[in-house]
């Protein structure tokens, strides 16, 4: 299985891949551009291609994460900026050999949530018209903090189906968000998995953010805890890790680093939970 963590790009994209490999990861996530800004980034093709080659050589999978201000649910006036960011991120993730770009589902502040969904679909359509490569937009479920969109699999599946090019859109499941939003109770993965198959969500799951939750089920609070230290617990994480849908996709920790500044021990813990399943 492909297990790893979010890593810094301070040493470039190749540096991120090497950092992940050095801590025992077989998967990693990185920010293709500044995570706090709406600025696009010029692509250092040599660095990105070296990252892709290193990842191939060491059997690693990767995903990029879009900047936090990227909001596909915004109205017309702001959409062009979001589309530019999306296409820029997709071009960089493609060059780095990554599966795709993780994008938060979106926050809509207007009175009619239906308009929010329409905005997301229009934004995704514009981006997939502009970008023709293999990198996927990976819609991430939300915790329900400050926005009520993107909490259910039904919404995410429907938005994907209504896109002009659904094959360019996949999903990234965040376990903390799923728990906080009320989607996953922790102990009921088998039932949730059966529903995810029927809804056709899980067949398009391309990445997993593996995080425990600081707050209880249904809290609508997005606070990640290290694996086994929150309200989800190791037993429930273990049940999820036994799913066939996570066997061949990147599983990425977005938790606090340990005292050594890395996720080395936590990656080893997750691997041990997988091995106990067998």
131: which 2 tokens? 């970008």
**Which residue has 């999903």 as its token pair?**
171
163: which 2 tokens? 């896109």
246: which 2 tokens? 């996570």
Helix intervals (H) in 70-173: 76-95, 113-130, 153-162
Q: Please, what are the domains in the chain?
A: 2-277 (3.20.20.150)
Contact predicate 26/248, CB 8 Å: no
Tens of pLDDT, residues 117-126: 999 999 999 9
Dist CA 221 CA 157 (whole Å): 23
Q: Which of 44, 39, 3 is nearest to 20 (CA)?
A: 3
Q: What percent of the chain has pLDDT over 90?
A: 95
Tens of pLDDT, residues 27-53: 999 999 999 999 999 999 999 999 999
Dist CA 78 CA 137 (whole Å): 19
Choice among 46-60, 133-147, 171-185 with the minimum mean pLDDT? 133-147
DSSP assignment string, 144-169 = -SS--SS-SHHHHHHHHHHSS-GGGE
153-162 vs 189-199: helix crossing angle, rounded to 10: 20
Tens of pLDDT, residues 64-93: 999 999 999 999 999 999 999 999 999 999
Dist CA 167 CA 160 (whole Å): 9
> pLDDT band at residue 145, thresholds of 50, 70 and 90?
confident
Average pLDDT, the chain: 96
> How many Cβ atoms from other residues are within 10 Å of residue 274's Cβ?
17
Flag whether pLDDT at 170 surpasses 80: yes
Ramachandran assignment for 36, one of left (phi > 0), alpha (psi -120 to 50 degrees), beta (any other): alpha
DSSP assignment string, 183-248 = S--SS-HHHHHHHHHHHT-GGGEEEEEE-EESS-TT-----EE-TTSSSS-HHHHHHHHT-GGGTT
Tens of pLDDT, residues 184-211: 999 999 999 999 999 999 999 999 999 9
* Degrees to nearest 5, angle at CA 203 with 185 and 172: 60
Dist CA 149 CA 145 (whole Å): 10
Flag whether pLDDT at 278 surpasses 80: no
Query: Rounded mean pLDDT of 121-137?
Result: 97
């Amino acid at each position: 299985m492909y297990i790893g963590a979010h890593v810094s790009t301070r040493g470039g994209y190749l540096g991120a891949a090497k950092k992940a490999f050095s801590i025992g990861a077989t998967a990693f996530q990185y920010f293709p551009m500044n995570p706090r800004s709406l600025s696009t980034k010029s692509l250092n093709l040599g660095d990105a291609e070296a990252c892709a080659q290193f990842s191939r050589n060491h059997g690693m999978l990767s995903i990029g994460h879009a900047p936090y201000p990227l909001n596909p649910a915004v109205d017309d006036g702001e959409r062009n900026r979001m589309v530019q960011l999306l296409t820029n991120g997709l071009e960089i993730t493609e060059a780095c050999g990554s599966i795709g770009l993780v994008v938060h589902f979106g926050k809509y502040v207007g009175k009619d949530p239906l308009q929010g969904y329409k905005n997301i679909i229009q934004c995704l359509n514009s981006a997939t018209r502009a970008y023709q490569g293999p990198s996927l937009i990976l819609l991430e479920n939300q915790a329900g903090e400050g926005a009520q969109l993107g909490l259910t699999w039904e919404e995410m599946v429907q938005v994907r189906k209504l896109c002009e090019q659904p094959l360019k859109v996949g999903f990234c499941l965040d376990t903390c968000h799923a728990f906080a939003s009320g989607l996953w109770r922790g102990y009921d993965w088998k039932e949730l998995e059966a529903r995810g198959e029927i809804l056709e969500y899980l067949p398009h799951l391309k990445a997993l953010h593996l995080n425990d939750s600081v707050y209880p089920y249904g809290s609508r609070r997005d606070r990640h805890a290290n694996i086994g230290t929150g309200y989800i617990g190791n037993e429930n994480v273990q049940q999820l890790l036994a799913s066939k849908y996570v066997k061949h996709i990147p599983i990425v920790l977005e938790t606090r680093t340990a005292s050594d500044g890395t996720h080395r021990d936590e990656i080893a813990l997750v691997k041990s939970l997988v091995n106990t399943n067998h």
